[in-house]
Amino acid sequence: MKLCGLVNRFVGGSLNFLGFQGGISEELNRCVNDSEELLITVMRPMRRREFRVNYFARNCLPRTGMATVPKFPTIPQLSILVPLTADTVAFERTLISVLQHRPQHSEVLVAHDGSYNDPYALGDEVRFVTTERAGFTDLLVAGSDAARGRLVHVLADGLEATSGWTDEASECFEHFDCGAVAPVIRNSSTQKILAGGWSDFGGRAGHPRTDLQQRGRTGCYLQASFWRRDLLRRLNKCFHGSSVDQVSDVFQRLTRQAGWKCEVAQESTVLCSSESLPWNNSTFARGMRLGAVSNHFGNASVVNAAISLAANLLHPHQLAEALGGLAAAMLSTKLQTSIDSSYLDECENEGMIMKMPTRNASWSTRKAA
């Protein structure tokens, strides 16, 4: 009896402490000699909860093999944009290479002016975006606005993707101040490096970087580039021109002014069938266009243009472009479209760096007695 009373007081007090109210002592007195009935009495509230859980599992959750829960498409991390300008054959070759090596957690966008009829019925694998104009920069705006991924990769028609070509480029954006990434464009036959982004080299703006260790101002060609989606959208609002080389130059200058960097992903390989970049033709008009950009940002001068002209005397194929740059500096040629940098947010270095908390008050030293 003393043992029964001890059990009664201990168990009853513990259950009252845990929130079980009323009638515990009487039940323990009646069934203290029957351990099984005691267990049932004490565990009865837990069994009620177990019953409710089991009932919910049997009647509320979908059973195996029953499609009662709707499937929502996951949000991609990367949006791959392939604009269709004029060459349908080159475009389809690019699109096939993207679909063949398509990375996980990505979507493929095709921007066109409505003239492409999707003859291969790729609607399940590709999202088509239409716009009224077929210019590359117009397609870029439409595609970036429709992109759902945090990153946007632009790949022009005629270029070909390779296995894992987006891996290193995507990793570059783990740095908080990386705004754009340039892949390495190689010749598909010889694997010769055609460009690892561009830089101002030899008095020529936007010159392809074939030496990946070369230092200096680095930019990426819009035709093969990776961007933070929000940054690219804001750049499209800052400036919209019809010339791709001019837009590339303006975007890189604005990006750098806002504190963002452009990186080169050396293991990110894009193939090109030609021996040189198709859009890198040196002409007088190109020199005028890029000279107008330099005039706007205050980097142009007649002296620098004359030095560039002298440096290109040994490169006759670049002489016309150097003359265009000199003419732009002498005539103070301006951009046909104004630049509004108010749309662009600055990369806040201090706000993006995690810091450990510090104490200003000095710690008192405790002395031994």
User: Do the domain assignments include residue 31?
Assistant: yes
Q: In the numeric block, which tokens belong to residue 140?
A: 């870029």
- Mean pLDDT in the chain? 78
**d(Cα 208, Cα 59) in Å, to the nearest integer?**
65
Q: Based on the domain organization, do 144 and 267 belong to the same domain?
A: yes
| Beta-strand relationship, 261-272 and 159-161 | antiparallel
d(C-alpha 38, C-alpha 215), whole Å = 81
Residue 320 located in a structural domain:
no
In the predicted structure, residue 304 carries a pLDDT above the cut 80: no
Q: Are 267 and 196 in contact (CB under 8 A)?
A: no
Q: What is the CATH number of the domain that holds 238?
A: 3.90.550.10
In a domain, 303, yes or no: no
| Domain span at 54 | 2-59
pLDDT 10s digits, 54-69: 444 444 444 444 444 4
15 falls in which pLDDT band (50, 70, 90)?
very low
What's the whole-number mean pLDDT along residues 219-245? 95
Which amino acid would we find at residue 78? Answer: L
Residues 98 and 19 in one domain: no
Question: Which residue(s) pair with 265 in the sheet?
Answer: 183
pLDDT the model gives residue 111: 96
**pTM for this model (two decimals):** 0.73
Residue type, 270: V
Residue 97 · residue 80 · CB < 8 Å: no
The set of residues, in sequence order, having a beta carbon less than 8 Å from that of 300 and lying 6+ positions away, is: 291, 294, 325, 328, 329
Residue 134 pLDDT greater than 90, yes or no: no
Question: 234 with 341: CB under 8 angstroms?
Answer: no
d(CA 341, CA 288): 22
Nearest to 158, CA basis, from 226, 210, 89: 89
> What does the pLDDT average to over 339-355?
67
Instruction: State the average pLDDT over residues 162-182.
Output: 95
Separation of alpha carbons 180 and 216, rounded Å:
16
Please tell me the distance from the alpha carbon of residue 157 to that of residue 136, in angstroms, as a whole number. 10
Among 226, 244, 278, where does a domain finish? 278
Model confidence band, residue 311 (pLDDT cutoffs 50, 70, 90): low
Contacts of 112 (CB under 8 A, 6+ apart): 83, 84, 128, 129, 130, 131, 134, 139
The percentage of residues in the chain with a pLDDT greater than 90, rounded to a whole number, is: 45
Asked if pLDDT for residue 358 goes beyond 60, the answer is no
Residues 116 and 36 in one domain: no
Position 154 in a domain: yes
Q: Are residues 39 and 86 in the same domain?
A: no
* Domain contains 310: no
CA atoms within 13 A on the CB side of 367: 1
Whether residue 263 sits in one domain with residue 141: yes
Question: Based on the domain organization, do 154 and 226 belong to the same domain?
Answer: yes
> Could you tell me which of 217, 228, 210, 347 has the C-alpha nearest to residue 293?
217
Give φ, ψ of 91 to 5 degrees.
-60, -45
For the chain, the domain total comes to: 2
Handedness of CA 52, 54, 59, 60 (dihedral sign): positive
Ranges 84-88, 281-285, 345-349: which has the least confidence: 345-349
Task: Look at the block and give the residue holding tokens 């921007």.
Answer: 111
Predicted local confidence at residue 53, as pLDDT = 43
291 in a structural domain: no
